[in-house]
Structure 1
Amino acid sequence: MEHIRTPKVEQVRLLQRRAGQRKPLLGTLYLSATHTIFVENHPETRRETWVLHSMVSGLERPPGGPTGSQLVLRCKDFRVFHLLFPLERDCVEVHASLTRLSRPESYSELYCLSINPNTNQEEREKSWSLVLPSQDYQRMGLPNNLWVATAANSEYKMCDSYPAQLFVSRWASPAVLMGSSRFRSRGRLPVLSYFHQDTLAAVCRCSQPLSGFSGRSEEDEQMVTAVMKANPGSDFIYVVDTRPRLNAMANRAAGKGYESEDHYGNIKLHFSGIDNIHVMRSSQQRILDVGEQRTPSMSDFLLGLENSGWLKHIKAVLDAGVFIAKAIADEGVSVLVHCSDGWDRTAQACSVASVLLEPYYRTMKGLMVLIEKDWVSFGHKFSHRYGHLDGDPREVSPVLDQFLEVLWQLAQQFPCAFQFNERFLLDLRTLAYSCQDGTFLGNSEKERRSLRLQERSFSVWSRLWRDREKYWNPLYRAEQSQTQGVLRPNTTPYCFKMWKGLYSPAETPAPPAQTPVDFLSSVREGSQQLEQQLANQQEVADALRQRVRFSFWRELSEL
């Protein structure tokens, strides 16, 4: 509260153009420790608009005019609020307050850590046990005679951005593990991400080797060979470098680079061509710039979309997943995946491949487990990528956005294959940015444990699971072949669409037009109610028949 210069400003006008609002609303603006709140003056509606401070991505002060001073508030969910203050002094004070409130300097200032989770300790503990990576490894049949658990990273000494629980090839000795870790960027050696029980092929992940132009590591070469040996059906593995080849070659000048097929004799190298976080951040911003135009023509929109390159990047991420999935399911060949440090593009490629391969990950619970395992526990830098704390803006990038958009693109091609709907993906993205729960705080499992997040906050998964009814896809059929089999998407350019639901957030008073999925959800709910009424009537009918039989036999016995 000490950062709030003025907690209340009256006679403020609010306009949200991107939501279709044409006329400003007159009301009162309130600043709390966690939210910016606008309350409309209209006596009948008194509509309230709440914005978490952690969802604010930027603030601007355009030149003022005769009607007052302006403040533009941009949110991480792409909502844009235009505020008009009658007095410039109020605008300056609100701007200064929000600048500090939206850029917390420590985790303790975030929303999820400002509440007291001990008010319901049992619920908090239950929320953290709902989704566990260990359960997913057990589901995949691990450990087994090919892949074993190692305690080498139990105290995060081998790799501080990896989880404590790791599965590695049983042919990899402790000395090989340590030697491989020393030769990989950030110590991120090859470990198991996904095991395919039918083909015995595996998806493994790591970071780039410190090979430079001529460097070698005998232990790292043995480690890659051990990964190959863990698949008895193949005598080689694919190494998927998710970067463009030129980028990987440029890293050699910094002493890093990629695996040489001359030194690693059992590999086939494949470059996926996914650009880095800086390119992705710029690409998404260009899409937002198109949306900022008041009345863009169709040619302006299409040109802006093309110049952004966004759908090209989405295609690159999906293509990487398709290559890995085909290698695992069709060829029975294991795949080792990495980018530079192995926590951005590597997470994208591994998780997309898992979704294509495994029907379980296309369910709500399965997707939660996948994100918890391949993103949260394997050290995706959530706090850096989504601007949770005041830091370097060059570290911010929409890495998770791209993965969720790939899922949305797949759902357009396979509408019956996913248990969840679009709303689930949108809410999941919002929760990753908003810091309402502790799951997505921090940049590694080690950091989250040092923050004691399981004692000080709730897990996001219990929130989503509690509301699972509204996330249900009415087209989902668990028994269909499309749902059960490996997904084989068409990745030709004309199959990719603009995700309107993400970039056009609606905040209008009138109810939005009903989508086909919403209509089907309503039909499904109506059918369930009718089925329940039918069952109730059936019970009444059975009871009446029983009474008639009893009365008949009683009268017969009296005769």
Structure 2
Amino acid sequence: VIPVENVRLLDRSSGQRKASVGTLYLSATHTIFVENNPETRKETWVLHSMVSSVDRPPSTPSGSQLVLRCKDFRVYQILVPQERDCVDVHASLVRLSRPEKYSELYCLSFNPSVNKEEREASWSFIDLMADYKRMGVPNNLWVSTTVNNEYRVCDTYPSELFVPKSASTGVIVGSSRFRSRGRFPALSYFHQDTLAAVCRCSQPLSGFSGRCQEDELMLQAVMKSNPGSDYIYVVDTRPKLNAMANRAAGKGYENEDHYTNIKLQFIGIENIHVMRSSQQKIIDVGEMRAPSMSDFLWGLENSGWLKHIKAVLDAGVFIARAVADEGVSVLVHCSDGWDRTAQACSVASILLDPFYRTLRGFMVLIERDWVSFGHKFSHRYAHLDGDPKEVSPVIDQFLECVWQLSEQFPCAFEFNERFLITLHTYIYSCQYGSFMGNCQKERRDLRLRERSHSVWPQLWKDRSDYTNPLYQAEQSQSQGVLKPNTSPFYFKMWKGLYNHVEKSVPPRQSPADYLSAVREESQQLEEELTNHQEVAPGGTAHQHQHHQPGSRQGIQHNTPPPPPPPPTNLEIPPV
């Protein structure tokens, strides 16, 4: 631990106007700032894996500056009195925030107070095979295949997969050889009512005129697995011009002359590089202090961010409509099938199935369409010091689509905004092993089940913090398929994620938090009433006096304080 005294810290993202004076410590995992004020001794902990960049602006007469920008969009400004100390702190922070090997990640040293058996059990909390069984799979249309045991056919796919019953091993292997990265068509979601399915894969290696009989047979098998339709949609989530450009590299998209049973649909979600640039612009908008309306609106428009969110949501809406309304199966791909494909398939599942709108169901969905199907978490979210061009906010956009849906359908989701923001933090923080690595095989080779902890039991344990008080299970079930309006009027900036500056100036309690507090107090009053009835002579209820809303004891005069913001670092170890 390296202590540096008389450091000034300004948390730009908290609305703090005046810097605090204290001592700065650098541990192996955290930057810790302890205020000198003997009354508060407030501590600020920043996990090194949450640091996105460490900049050194020009020095001031008061000392040398450091600016820490974090992956949860918080910004800390540090003023170090001595130039030499600032140079040392900067060098240490850069090194600590950019690990080069998985063995340096926080999840391998994070040690919550659970025993070995509890840690091992945490990895069984989510059972994907149970979810497929809930869908009615396997059945006489879709079966489990052993073709990818030991990741023999596709090393970025899970070992357990479901494929059309009519697809032979030869067809599956042949199709994989004709698909980028070997990612052949496999089942993502099965709709029991219409028997239509959502499948996923990567782009074909067709070039300008190439074809593959096994791949054509594979798509026919997907179609035959839905008795109610004589064709399938192939949803290419890329802009058509991008897909056409890939033909020059021997890749591209399906030729409808060769695949007679398909209808090709381009969606137009931009690539990871466009999204990375767009998010940086929306981050800049979120950091504006008291912007004019014109500056704010110009920044929002210039970022293009909401346009991209709309494109992802439109993809999910198209797939859900095809499956639920038309009864037509859909095969989804982008380039490699692990970014835009994951977005489109998981948004469609949210729309199609109320189970994924529950807390546990959402965990299952993330585990299935993102973790097991090989979304490149460590590359996309800069867990290691690697190629910056591989970094992109792919899952950020999915989480935002879910938040936008929850704004349109406030009673349809069991979880709240805080859950989405906390999950976003865990994805970037490297605190748990759940999101480490880039595919299932890599996680197995790293022995993460033996060396780290799963995040899901922790989130489930804290579920009372993440419950939406407006959720109505019956209404969500009766709604069945969600049909959002994707008109531009319905999209808004996600202030809770991107705008920390205004979040606590002044501190306000959200309506959802207020309702949770009201519900909790109502439950307490009901319990008190029950207890009084049990102990009262004859069990009569008239001896208990109700608190009326607006009375001195009523909830209007006893509003609980706003709950704290979602934690950046849970289970902080001692320094």
TM-score range (shorter-chain normalised) is over 0.9
SS in 1 for 2:248: helix
Partners of 1:368 and 1:543 lie apart in 2 by 48
Please name the residue that 1:109 is paired with: 104
8 Å CA contact retained: 2:245, 2:252: yes
**Unaligned ranges ≥5, structure 2:** 541-575
Partners of 1:24 and 1:14 lie apart in 2 by 5
Partners of 1:434 and 1:124 lie apart in 2 by 19
Alignment of 1:157-196 (within 5 A): 157-196=152-191
* Cα deviation code 1:352-390 (max 9, x no counterpart): 000000000000000000000000000000000000001
Partners of 1:532 and 1:363 lie apart in 2 by 27
Alignment of 1:16-35 (within 5 A): 16-35=11-30
Structure 1 residue 364 and structure 2 residue 352: aligned? Answer: no
2:338 corresponds, among 340, 343, 352, to: 343
8 Å CA contact retained: 1:117, 1:457: no
Structure 1 residue 394 and structure 2 residue 389: aligned? Answer: yes
In terms of mean alpha carbon deviation, does 268-277 or 129-138 score higher? 129-138
Structure 1 residue 421 and structure 2 residue 416: aligned? Answer: yes
8 Å CA contact retained: 1:439, 1:460: yes
1:230 corresponds, among 225, 228, 238, to: 225
Please name the residue that 1:280 is paired with: 275
Partners of 1:520 and 1:536 lie apart in 2 by 24
C-alpha deviation, 1:294, in angstroms: 4.3
Please name the residue that 1:485 is paired with: 480
SS in 1 for 2:166: coil
C-alpha deviation, 1:482, in angstroms: 6.7
Code of the residue aligned with 1:33 in structure 2: it is: A
8 Å CA contact retained: 2:180, 2:204: yes
Structure 1 residue 291 and structure 2 residue 286: aligned? Answer: yes
Please name the residue that 1:37 is paired with: 32
TM norm structure 1? 0.94
8 Å CA contact retained: 1:416, 1:483: no
C-alpha deviation, 1:540, in angstroms: 2.3
Structure 1 residue 431 and structure 2 residue 410: aligned? Answer: no
In terms of mean alpha carbon deviation, does 125-134 or 145-154 score higher? 125-134
C-alpha deviation, 1:18, in angstroms: 3.1
8 Å CA contact retained: 2:354, 2:476: no
Code of the residue aligned with 1:360 in structure 2: it is: F
C-alpha deviation, 1:505, in angstroms: 2.7
C-alpha deviation, 1:538, in angstroms: 2.9
SS in 1 for 2:474: coil
Please name the residue that 1:377 is paired with: 372
C-alpha deviation, 1:82, in angstroms: 0.4
Change (3 A) 1:220 1:527: same
Please name the residue that 2:206 is paired with: 211
Structure 1 residue 516 and structure 2 residue 511: aligned? Answer: yes
1:136 corresponds, among 131, 135, 149, to: 131
C-alpha deviation, 1:119, in angstroms: 5.7
Partners of 2:478 and 2:7 lie apart in 1 by 51
* Cα deviation code 1:201-226 (max 9, x no counterpart): 00000000000000000000000000
Change (3 A) 1:111 1:506: farther
Change (3 A) 1:356 1:455: same
Alignment of 1:239-250 (within 5 A): 239-250=234-245
Code of the residue aligned with 2:172 in structure 1: it is: L
In terms of mean alpha carbon deviation, does 180-189 or 499-508 score higher? 499-508
Taking only the aligned residue pairs, the percentage that are identical comes to 75
Please name the residue that 2:523 is paired with: 528
8 Å CA contact retained: 2:187, 2:199: yes
Code of the residue aligned with 1:277 in structure 2: it is: I
8 Å CA contact retained: 2:207, 2:247: yes
Partners of 1:113 and 1:241 lie apart in 2 by 38
Please name the residue that 1:549 is paired with: none
In terms of mean alpha carbon deviation, does 453-462 or 296-305 score higher? 296-305
SS in 2 for 1:260: coil
Change (3 A) 1:483 1:518: farther
Change (3 A) 1:459 1:178: same
In terms of mean alpha carbon deviation, does 349-358 or 38-47 score higher? 38-47
8 Å CA contact retained: 2:14, 2:504: no
Partners of 2:504 and 2:160 lie apart in 1 by 49
C-alpha deviation, 1:488, in angstroms: 0.4
Change (3 A) 1:58 1:505: same
SS in 1 for 2:363: helix
Structure 1 residue 455 and structure 2 residue 411: aligned? Answer: no
In terms of mean alpha carbon deviation, does 474-483 or 190-199 score higher? 474-483
8 Å CA contact retained: 2:202, 2:333: yes
Please name the residue that 2:258 is paired with: 263
SS in 1 for 2:519: helix
C-alpha deviation, 1:122, in angstroms: 1.8
SS in 1 for 2:33: strand
* Cα deviation code 1:3-52 (max 9, x no counterpart): xxx71101000112232111111111000000000111111111111000
Change (3 A) 1:178 1:543: farther
C-alpha deviation, 1:295, in angstroms: 4.3
Structure 1 residue 80 and structure 2 residue 102: aligned? Answer: no
Code of the residue aligned with 2:219 in structure 1: it is: V
Partners of 1:108 and 1:472 lie apart in 2 by 35
Change (3 A) 1:282 1:511: same
SS in 2 for 1:282: helix
Partners of 1:21 and 1:209 lie apart in 2 by 53
C-alpha deviation, 1:481, in angstroms: 5.4
Partners of 2:182 and 2:201 lie apart in 1 by 9
Change (3 A) 1:492 1:115: closer
C-alpha deviation, 1:535, in angstroms: 2.2
Partners of 1:537 and 1:66 lie apart in 2 by 67
8 Å CA contact retained: 2:194, 2:327: yes
SS in 2 for 1:455: helix
Code of the residue aligned with 2:2 in structure 1: it is: P
Partners of 1:508 and 1:204 lie apart in 2 by 41
* Cα deviation code 1:399-421 (max 9, x no counterpart): 00000000000000000000000
SS in 2 for 1:352: helix
8 Å CA contact retained: 1:418, 1:483: no
SS in 2 for 1:423: helix
1:90 corresponds, among 62, 85, 93, to: 85
Code of the residue aligned with 2:371 in structure 1: it is: V
Structure 1 residue 202 and structure 2 residue 194: aligned? Answer: no
TM norm structure 2? 0.92
Please name the residue that 1:310 is paired with: 305
C-alpha deviation, 1:267, in angstroms: 0.2
**Unaligned ranges ≥5, structure 1:** 1-5, 546-559
Partners of 2:476 and 2:539 lie apart in 1 by 44
2:119 corresponds, among 93, 117, 124, to: 124
Partners of 1:484 and 1:324 lie apart in 2 by 17
2:94 corresponds, among 95, 99, 115, to: 99
- How many residue pairs were aligned? 540
8 Å CA contact retained: 1:21, 1:508: no
